Structure 1
Amino acid sequence: MMTGMFMLFNNDEYKEPIERIIRVLLDLGLTLNEAKVYVYLAKTGYRKAIEIAENIGIPRTETYQILNRLQSRGLVIATMEHPVRYAAVEFNDLLKTMINVSMERLKEFDRRREEILQVWNNLPEFAKTSCDDKDRFQILEGRDNVYARISSMVADAGELLMICNEVDALRMYNYGIIDVIAKCSNVKIISSVSPSMASVFMDVGLSNVRRIESKFPLVIIKDRKEMVHVIRERNKNDTAAIWTDSTALIESILALFSMLWKDVDDSKQ
C-alpha cells in the first residue's frame, strides 16, 4: 500500500524542504538511508520494519540494522509487541540529542588535546621541505569551514582590517567571531551595516567603523600578512573563500581599503 510518506519523497511540491531536512540530518552524522528512515517514521508514526523497507525502497535486512542504530542513538523507539513497530522521536528532540552528542565529542577532543599533540610531536619528520619564499593560498569550501578559518586567523591578531556587509557582520556575530575581533588591539572596519544594526559592533566595543553604501564581499586582513576573501556565498554549502599570504594580493586590497577609509566619513555606529 502506498503511504503518504512514500508520496512525500516523490512529490515535487515538497522536494526542496525534504532535501533540506535530509542535508541537515547528514550534517548531523546520519547516513542517507538513516535520514530517510527517520523522516518516514517522523511523518507517518508507528510502522513495522517491513512497511519501512517497502515504502523507502531499502532491503529489509538493512532496515533492521538502521533501526537498531537509530535506537542506540536515542532517535527511534519501539513497541513491546510482535511484530515490533517503530516510531521516531520528535524532530526538536533529535536536534537537541545530536547537538549534545557533537558537543560532548568536541569536549572530549579538547580534554585530550595535549595528549594527542604530544603523540603527534613525537612522530619524526622525514626530509621535510618548506616554501617560505613562495606565496601560498588555500581555497575554503562551505560556510562553516570559511568562518572556522576566519575565527582561527583572527584569534591572535594585533591589527585587523575588515570590509563587510550587514549579512557578513551578522554571521560573524552568530559564529562568535565579532567577540574575538573585539579583543584585537587595532581594528578598522568598513561596512555597509545599517544604523539600526550597528549594535553588532557597538555591543562589543568596536567603534572604529566607517559606513559605506556599497556592498563588498567579506575581506579580513590580519597584521598585513594574511587575508581571507570570500569569493562566493549563495548558501551554507555553496560558499567559498580564499586564504592567502600573497604580498601582492594583500597590498592590492590594502590600497582599496585605504582609499575607501579616506573617502567615507566616520560613522558613530
Structure 2
Amino acid sequence: MTEANISVFDNDSDTQLFRHKITLDKIKTELVNFGLTANQSKVFIYLGKYGSKSAAEISKALQLPRTETYHLVNSLQSLGLVVAELSHPTKYTAMDMKLAIETLILQQQSKINMLADKEESLSKMWKEIPFFAVDTDESKSEKMQLLHGVNSISIKIQEMITSCNDEFKIFASMSDVNRFYYSDIFDTIEQSTSELKLIISPIENSPEFLSEIDPKKIRTVSSDSNNKCFIINDKKEVLIFMRNANHPTRQIFAWWSDSETLVEMMSSLFDLSWEKGEASY
C-alpha cells in the first residue's frame, strides 16, 4: 500500500504521516470539546485533509462500518460542516476549519441562549412546588462535593466569593493563578466586600497582571511541589484541588466541603504559610 493511500489516523509509526497523526489527534480532541463525537471529528478531519470523498472511500480509509459512515456524513451535513456534491456516487467535502469552528460556536451559543430563556419559567415552576423536607439535625450536617472540570470549579469559586464577607484565601501555584486570572476570579473578588490573601508557591516569573493586585495581599513561599492549591472562604468552606492547573483542563477536579474541622485545618496551614511567606515585591 502506498503512503498516499494510508489514512492519517493509522498507527504505523514508520510512516512520515505519523507525526501529523499526533497533531490531528489533538485537533480531534478539541473538536470533541466543541460538541462533535470522536468519529464525526475523524470524518471531518479526513475530508478536510484528503478532499472530496464518497461514503465508501471514507468507510474504507477510516475503517468505519458503511452504515455508520452514512450516518456520520449526514449528521455533519446537518451541522453545516460538510456539503454533498451532486455526483454519482455522492461525494462529501468539509468546510474550512475556521468557518467550521465559528459555526460550532454559534450553535453552542444558541443552545445556551435557549436554556437561559427557560431559566425564569423553570425557577417559577420550581417555587410553585412546596418544600417537603423535615428540618432535622441531619439536614444541617456537614457537606462535601466533588467538582470535575474548569467550568464547574470556576462556578463554585464564584459562589464562594459571593458568600464571602471577610477574607478570601487562595494558596496556589503560578499555573493556578494564571487560570484564576483568565476566569475573572480576581475581578470578582475585587468587586466583592471580601479581602484577598494570596499565597503563590512556587513563583518564578511574575506575570504583569499581578502588579494590578495590592502587593500587601500577596506572599510567596518556596516549595518543591507546585501541585498544592486550595481556597478558603471566611473559615466556613474550603475547596481543595486534587488535580490542579498542572493537569489538562478536562482532568482537573476539586473537593469542596463546609466541614468545620477540615476548614480549620486548612486555615491553620494557610496562616502558617502566610507568616513564613515573603512579600511579592
Structure-2-length-normalised TM-score: 0.83
Distance verdict in 2 for CA 1:216–1:71, change over 3 Å: closer
Contact 1:4 1:44 in 2 (8 A): no
Compute the displacement of 1:216 (Å).
5.6
Q: Hey, what's the Cα distance between the residues in 2 that align with 1:203 and 1:50?
A: 58
Q: Deviations over 1:19-77 (max 9, x none)?
A: 43332222222122212211211121111121112222233333222222211211112
Bigger mean CA offset, 142-151 vs 37-46: 142-151
Confirm or deny: 8 A CA contact 1:226 1:246 kept in the other structure: yes
| C-alpha distance in 1 between matches for 2:133 and 2:6 | 58
Which residue does 1:179 correspond to in 2?
187
Return 168-177 or 201-210, whichever deviates more: 201-210
**Given that residues 170 and 200 in structure 1 are in contact (C-alpha distance below 8 angstroms), is that contact kept between their aligned partners in structure 2?**
no
Q: Residues of 2 paired with 1:129 and 1:67: CA distance?
A: 55
Report the counterpart of residue 223 of structure 1 in structure 2. Answer: 234
Shift of 1:239: 1.9
* 1:25 maps to 2:31: yes
| 1:207, distance to aligned residue in structure 2 (A) | 5.2
Structure 1 residue 106: Cα displacement: 1.6
The amino acid across from 2:117 in the alignment is R
**Equivalent in the alignment of 1:80:** 86
* Aligned-partner Cα distance in 1 for 2:192–2:108: 30
Distance 1:119 1:16 in 2: 49
Shifted more, 67-76 versus 87-96: the winner is 87-96
Matched position secondary structure for 1:221: strand
Q: 1:211 aligns with which of 220, 223, 229?
A: 220
> What CA deviation, in whole Å up to 9, does each residue of 1:164-189 have, x standing for no partner?
11100111122222221222321111
Consecutive unaligned residues in structure 2, runs of 5 or more: none
Q: d(CA) in 2 for partners of 1:251 and 1:63?
A: 57
The one-letter amino acid of 1:178's match is F
Match of 1:237 among 225, 242, 250: 250
Structure 1: runs of 5+ lacking an equivalent: none
The alpha carbon displacement at 1:204 in A equals 5.9
Aligned length: 268
Tell me if 1:154 matches 2:200: no
Point out the more displaced range, 66-75 or 147-156.
147-156
The residue number in structure 1 matching 2:123 is 117
Quote the residue 2:149 is aligned against: 142
Matched, 1:164 2:157: no
C-alpha separation in 1, matches of 2:275 and 2:88:
77
Q: Is the contact between residue 28 and residue 42 of structure 2 (CA under 8 Å) also seen in structure 1? A: yes
> Residue 162 of structure 1: CA displacement?
0.8
CA distance in 2, matches of 1:52, 1:216: 44
Contact 2:7 2:61 in 1 (8 A): no
Aligned-residue RMSD, C-alpha: 2.7
